Amino acid sequence: MSATLEKGVRVIKEVIDAPIASYFNSCVHCGLCAEACLFYTETGDPKYTPIHKLEPMRRIYEQEYTLLGRLKKMAGLSKPVTDAELKEWQELVYNSCTLCGRCSVVCPVGNDIVYMVRKFREGMSASGNAPDGIKGAAHRTVTIGSPMGVKLPAVKAQMKHVETDYGIPIPLDAEGAEYMVMLSSMEIINFPEYLGAIAKIMQQAGKSWTLCSTAFEATNAGMQIGNSDIARVIVSRIVDGAERLKVKTVISPECGHAYTALRWEGANLIGRPFTFEVKHIIEVLGEFQEQGLLKTDGKETDRLTFHDPCQLARRGGVIKQPRNLMNQVAANFVEMPDAGFMNWCCGGGGGASAIEEGEELRLEAFKKKKSQLEAVKPDRLVTACANCRIVLEEGLEHYQMDIPVVGLTEMIAEHIPEMEAKP
Amino acid sequence: MNELQFLTWVRGTGLNIAVGLFLLGVLWRLIEIYSLGRKKDLSAPRHVAGASGWNTVFRRSIPPEGMVKRSPVSYLGGYAFHIGLAIVVFLFAPHIKLIQSLTGLSWPALPSQFIDLVAVVTLAAMVVVLADRINKPVKRFLSTFEDWFTWTVTFLPVLTGWLAVRHLLFPYTTMLALHILSVEILLVVLPFTKLFHAFTVFGSRWFNGAVNGHKGVAV
Amino acid sequence: MQGPLIDTLALHGVSRRTFLKYCSTLASLMALPPAAGVAMAEAMAAAPAAAKRPSVIWLPFQECTGCTESITRSHSPSIEGMIFDMVSLDYQETLMAAAGHQAEEVLRKTVEANKGQFLLIIDGSVATGLDGAYSCIAGRSNLALLKEIAPHAAAIVAMGSCAAYGGLPKAKPNPTGAVSVSDIVKDKPIVNIPGCPPIPVVMTGVLAHFLTFGSLPDLDKLGRPKAFYGETIHDRCYRRPFYDQGKFAKTFDDEGARNGWCLFELGCKGPVTYNACATVKWNGGTSWPVESGHGCLGCSEPNFWDAGGFYKALSMPANPLRMAAGAAVAGAAAGVAVSFANRAKKKDAKAAHETTTLADLEKSEER
């Protein structure tokens, strides 16, 4: 078996549904989606207009699911979609789309464009037209266990480090724990403080929690590549782990698309509702804050701003919580223009950051973030997504902007007073 | 065929055919589109006030923050011509009389001088929107024959209607007949072009609102 | 200005001054320069004194005599009627004393004596079915009579909507094969004076023009004198302001009707009817249909009898939309058929789904 155009088209036929049909029929070519897309606003190239990124899928819809389209196809009046065309579209569907969903919230006729791009990626991947970068990540996640090639021993080593540094035990495979904490390999390798932060926060809140030896990696390259079969393999590990340990809630790490994959796509991928809840760590922190379980000392005094990860805010509905948390620990918190629901993407979401050949475009698109930052001139930038964090750091470095990026969870944890002396 | 016969034809046979094709097209297309169905979302919903399909159907009529500034012509022109069209189509006395004769429903009309003014504004807005489509790289890039064609068939009924009322170009009888004919062309074309958004816009907004509302996001 | 006409007018109590005023009004109605009024008065006053008054033949075809009624009765003893004193109306079945063979003899002699000079007035449409057998005079069809006499006329006046456009006899299903005069006669100047019946002053205006200038007035493309048929009833209607304000009578006895509001919704065809009723009025300027509370029927327009009903507003469908229900059912059926085909196609695609593995993400030729 291998990827073929025929397979790709068949998969697209599978995923086309009433919303997509309605969306394609509603489009009036007003071009407003382009104004919402940072790849267009920063390059001025009309080919990055979001709805245009779906043109091959639109034709397949018309040719397969409308009577007039079928007749046109039979009469040879419509151009069939070719493999070369899909290959050409790779740049539009992956490199220049981070699934940020800004287009979907501005479209005046109400088209959920990002919903369509996500579905189109099913066909793109099945036809072998997904970018190598994400394919590689998917490969590593399925075969090794994480997109960055991190295996359990590496996690265990980190656990040991944290236990030593913080003096708090890190539970592994603790059955019946309330929370099962997921990580992203980015956090395991680049931001180990995250695990320590969780340990401190859980300890203060007095909640039982655990890591899972068979499911520690939350990211899902299968979803980014847009392939449900592969995304299902990855998400099933987490479901199995959570059900094996009988946890009440699985906590998605500071990673936007991991949250989307688990919280919103997971149940649909495995075909049944979850027996546990899924929450983003920021949601959990928000709950702790409301319940008075999150007590902090002192405040950051430098000028801070918060970058909303798209999947958490616009695509996930967690907008108020990070602000409440920021205000608890920051004395000088300022908002960037368009912050919150309409925040601009870092430019590397939806798998885009894994595409090597897309780097130049990514950096071009980063000008949007640059201008947002220049408007408020923060000393540091806080966010809640490890991928955003990496992309932001790259962009800031490229444009020689000296703004450190920090994770919100870690920042909160730094203000949690030591509970007791080390044992 | 003289002018009055032409007028009588468009009021009679022509209208009969046009309304027939319109109804046929609308029902066919609506069923064709919405019968495709969609999968039930199995993820646990998050309930937030204001996040639902119906909310989005209405909310999406208001531009999101910052967007008017980014594309003023699209919004102002779009509002002007859509609202203008609605006023001219639904609040001009002869039109109400037509709707009443077809459906039995009627409501008060606006003075014809006001309708005249609105028609001029609508025409101007449509010309501006067309100029924008020609000038703006994105719009020009997206435009196909259908875009120019649908603009024309939408513009003509307003133009011919206004010319008829103003007694310009052709004798009133001819102009009125041309006006009705242009509306009939519009009716026939509507279900099979992007003009069908007049119907699907509600479905699209609802789906978008419902899909995102499921996540507790009010879009 | 003297002459027998002036004497006759004086006899009927019409002063010379009034006559002059009438002529200048007529001239202005016809959009002629003021001097034309004087010329008209002089020509008409002098006409009866001339060696021979212009001969006029009035042939009645498929008609109801309403046109004759309109002209003869409504204005007696007004000036319009007097105009006929200036011509020699040699043949007019309704008005002439002669009958039967005598009358037909007059016709034959008049044509003979005035070849190429007489004015031929026709009211009524021309029946063409069964070789014109539907309407005959003295055993000869109107069609044959027209074909025989028309070539000898100087000009033809098609009086009333029937002669001008076919009129009521031509209404669907037109059993007699009625046509207009201009459908038969192609090589003579024809002036159409439509109306059911036409306005008398229009008729006299055309006659006066013919007498004064020896030619027909300016005509529009439907053969009507532009002077009288240049504007619609609606544009000149005294109720027009109500239309513009959106004030309409909904029934013939409601508040709006009593207030004299616009009759558009009651089916008034004023907007598409070109005639002078609203300015000239009827019965010596007494009133006209809209003033007496009824919408315009559009009687001076071609095919007005088949224009979708007198009491249907112009913006209403002329006929019931019979296709609507059937089309809706057909559309729904088409939609359901497509939806079944779509569902089958989608099901097939799903059934043929091969679970993608990592290897399946690559195209074969690239491996």
| pLDDT tens by residue, A17-68 | 999 999 999 999 999 999 999 999 999 999 999 999 999 999 999 999 999 9
CB atoms within 10 A of CB C142: 28
- Answer whether residue A141 shows pLDDT above 80: yes
| Cα–Cα distance, C196 to A423 (Å, whole number) | 116
CB-CB neighbors (< 8 A) of B48 in chain A: 317
* Closest CB from C222, C328, C339 relative to B23: C328
The three-class DSSP label of residue A17 is coil
Contacts of A146 (CB under 8 A, 6+ apart): A140, A185, A188, A216, A217, A219
| Cα–Cα distance, A348 to A405 (Å, whole number) | 15
Task: Report the pLDDT value the prediction gives residue C33, as an integer from 0 to 100.
Answer: 72
* pLDDT one-digit tens code per residue, A251-303: 999 999 999 999 999 999 999 999 999 999 999 999 999 999 999 999 999 99
Task: Report the pLDDT value the prediction gives residue C39, as an integer from 0 to 100.
Answer: 76
Banded pLDDT at C322 (limits 50, 70, 90): confident
Name, of A40-49, A150-159, C271-280, the range with top average pLDDT. A40-49
Query: With contact defined as beta carbons under 8 Å apart, do C99 and C36 qualify?
Result: no
Task: Report the pLDDT value the prediction gives residue C247, as an integer from 0 to 100.
Answer: 86
CB-CB neighbors (< 8 A) of B74 in chain A: 30-32
| Cα–Cα distance, C320 to C54 (Å, whole number) | 52
| Cα–Cα distance, A376 to A304 (Å, whole number) | 9
Looking at beta carbons, which pairs linking C140-148 to residues 24 or more positions away fall under 8 Å?
A: C142/C59, C142/C61, C142/C62, C143/C184, C145/C59, C146/C59, C146/C61, C146/C122, C146/C181, C146/C184, C146/C185, C147/C184
Residue with tokens 């919402």: A36
- Answer whether residue B31 shows pLDDT above 50: yes
- Answer whether residue C48 shows pLDDT above 70: no
Instruction: Domain ranges for chain C, please list them.
Output: 4-228, 233-306
CA C104 to chain centre: 30
| Cα–Cα distance, C342 to A62 (Å, whole number) | 11
| Cα–Cα distance, A97 to A113 (Å, whole number) | 11
CB-CB neighbors (< 8 A) of B94 in chain C: 264, 313-315
CATH class of A296-414: alpha beta
Banded pLDDT at A124 (limits 50, 70, 90): very high
State whether B7 and C272 contact (CB < 8 Å). Answer: yes
Mutate which: C348, C350, C361, vs A, most A CBs within 10 A: C361
Task: Report the pLDDT value the prediction gives residue C77, as an integer from 0 to 100.
Answer: 44
Tokens read off for C161? 């909507």
Residues above pLDDT 70, as percent of chain A: 99
Residues above pLDDT 90, as percent of chain C: 46
Q: Which residues pair with A380 in a beta bridge?
A: A304
- Least confidently predicted of A3-7, A328-332, C19-23: C19-23
Regarding the domain delimited by A135-289, which CATH topology (the fold level of the hierarchy) does it fall under?
Answer: Glutathione S-transferase Yfyf (Class Pi); Chain A, domain 2 (1.20.1050)
- What is the arithmetic mean of pLDDT over C256-285? 90
Regarding the domain delimited by C233-306, which CATH topology (the fold level of the hierarchy) does it fall under?
Answer: Cytochrome-c3 Hydrogenase; Chain A, domain 2 (4.10.480)
Tell me the C-alpha to C-alpha distance, in Å, between residue A113 and each of A259, B29, B192: 20, 21, 22
Task: Report the pLDDT value the prediction gives residue A200, as an integer from 0 to 100.
Answer: 92
- Answer whether residue B1 shows pLDDT above 50: yes
Give the residue on C whose Cα is nearest the Cα of B35: C339
3-class secondary structure for C163-188? Answer: HHHCCHHHCCCCCCCEECHHHHCCCC
The three-class DSSP label of residue A157 is helix
Banded pLDDT at A88 (limits 50, 70, 90): very high
Banded pLDDT at A422 (limits 50, 70, 90): very low
Q: Phi and psi of A417, rounded to 5°?
A: -65, 150
* Mean pLDDT (chain B, rounded): 94
State whether C264 and B97 contact (CB < 8 Å). Answer: yes
Mutate which: B2, B3, B4, vs C, most C CBs within 10 A: B4
- Answer whether residue C50 shows pLDDT above 60: no
CB atoms within 10 A of CB C304: 25
* Closest CB from A110, A274, A278 relative to B208: A110
- What is the arithmetic mean of pLDDT over C277-290? 87
Mutate which: B200, B206, B211, vs A, most A CBs within 10 A: B200
Provide the CATH number for the domain formed by A5-130 in this structure.
Answer: 1.10.1060
Banded pLDDT at C84 (limits 50, 70, 90): low
Nearest partner of C218 among C232, C185, C209, judged by Cα: C209
- What is the arithmetic mean of pLDDT over A170-180? 94
Interface of C with A in 46-105 (CB under 8 A): none
- Answer whether residue C367 shows pLDDT above 50: no
Backbone conformation region of residue C99, classed left if phi is above 0, alpha if psi is from -120 to 50, else beta:
beta
- What is the arithmetic mean of pLDDT over C49-74? 79
Task: Report the pLDDT value the prediction gives residue A176, as an integer from 0 to 100.
Answer: 93
State whether B44 and A277 contact (CB < 8 Å). Answer: yes
Query: With contact defined as beta carbons under 8 Å apart, do C142 and C62 qualify?
Result: yes
Banded pLDDT at C99 (limits 50, 70, 90): confident
- Answer whether residue C23 shows pLDDT above 80: no
Query: With contact defined as beta carbons under 8 Å apart, do C26 and C217 qualify?
Result: no
Mutate which: B13, B27, B110, vs C, most C CBs within 10 A: B27
Residues above pLDDT 70, as percent of chain B: 100
- Least confidently predicted of A79-83, A355-359, A387-391, C355-359: C355-359
Task: Report the pLDDT value the prediction gives residue C8, as an integer from 0 to 100.
Answer: 63
* Mean pLDDT (chain C, rounded): 85
| Cα–Cα distance, B205 to B210 (Å, whole number) | 8
CB-CB neighbors (< 8 A) of B4 in chain C: 272, 298, 301-304, 307
Task: Report the pLDDT value the prediction gives residue C56, as an integer from 0 to 100.
Answer: 87
- Least confidently predicted of A76-80, A129-133, C74-78: C74-78
State whether C354 and A7 contact (CB < 8 Å). Answer: yes
- Answer whether residue B117 shows pLDDT above 60: yes
CB atoms within 10 A of CB B121: 16
Which of the other chains make 3 or more beta carbon contacts under 8 angstroms with chain B? A, C
| Cα–Cα distance, B15 to B11 (Å, whole number) | 5
State whether C349 and A10 contact (CB < 8 Å). Answer: yes
Banded pLDDT at C331 (limits 50, 70, 90): very high
The three-class DSSP label of residue C57 is strand
Which architecture, in CATH terms, is C4-228? Answer: 3-Layer(aba) Sandwich (3.40)
Task: Report the pLDDT value the prediction gives residue B73, as an integer from 0 to 100.
Answer: 94
CB-CB neighbors (< 8 A) of A225 in chain C: 361
| Cα–Cα distance, C322 to B13 (Å, whole number) | 10
Task: Report the pLDDT value the prediction gives residue A423, as an integer from 0 to 100.
Answer: 43
Tell me the C-alpha to C-alpha distance, in Å, between residue A290 and each of A201, A284, A333, C91, C125: 14, 10, 20, 109, 94
Tell me the C-alpha to C-alpha distance, in Å, between residue B146 and each of A27, A331, B154: 12, 56, 12
Tokens read off for C20? 């002059």
Helix count and strand count (H, E) for chain C = 16, 9
* pLDDT one-digit tens code per residue, B133-186: 999 999 999 999 999 999 999 999 999 999 998 889 988 889 999 999 999 999
- Answer whether residue C51 shows pLDDT above 60: no
* Closest CB from B4, B28, B102 relative to C331: B28
Instruction: Domain ranges for chain A, please list them.
Output: 5-130, 135-289, 296-414
Q: Which amino acid is at A335?
A: E
Task: Report the pLDDT value the prediction gives residue A421, as an integer from 0 to 100.
Answer: 44
